[in-house]
């Protein structure tokens, strides 16, 4: 897929083997690092994660136009919505997640700790 004719594609774009891991690995790890910082409020983590998910793929375009659009769309829609959803969970809960819990939540919108918490809530 080539870019539309009226859009000049970047001559300084990064290669796909750098772009895709950046979007799908570095971005979630940055957000996870923000979650682990106890001093930050939920709103700050939510805003920073959303800004990263929307801004990072646009700041560093991929040399392959199709992969850039796929990576940017996945980051902007899926990851940003998950990061906003994480912001709705209490800070005391989401700051204790392991990396495995975090990645499970990004993929399924649920994780082991949340299921345990829901079971405890239903038992009361």
pTM of the model: 0.80
Residue 53 near residue 76, CB atoms below 8 Å: yes
Q: For 36-71, give the DSSP string.
A: H-TTS-HHHHHHHHHHHHHHHHHHS-BSSHHHHHHH
Report the distance separating Cα 70 and Cα 100, nearest Å.
25
- pLDDT tens-digit profile of 84-109? 999 899 888 988 999 999 999 998 98
Q: What is the pLDDT of residues 24-70, one digit of tens each?
A: 898 899 999 999 998 999 999 999 999 988 888 888 888 788 888 88
């Amino acid at each position: 897929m080539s870019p539309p004719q009226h859009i000049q594609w970047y001559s300084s774009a990064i290669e796909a083997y750098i772009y895709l891991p950046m979007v799908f690995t570095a971005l979630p790890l940055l957000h996870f690092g923000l979650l682990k910082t106890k001093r930050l409020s939920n709103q700050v983590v939510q805003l920073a994660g959303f800004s990263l998910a929307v801004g990072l793929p646009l700041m560093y375009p991929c040399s392959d136009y199709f992969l850039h659009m796929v990576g940017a769309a996945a980051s902007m829609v899926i990851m940003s919505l998950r990061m906003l959803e994480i912001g709705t969970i209490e800070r005391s809960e989401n700051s204790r997640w392991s990396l495995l819990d975090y990645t499970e939540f990004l993929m399924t919108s649920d994780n082991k700790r949340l299921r345990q918490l829901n079971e405890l809530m239903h038992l009361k």
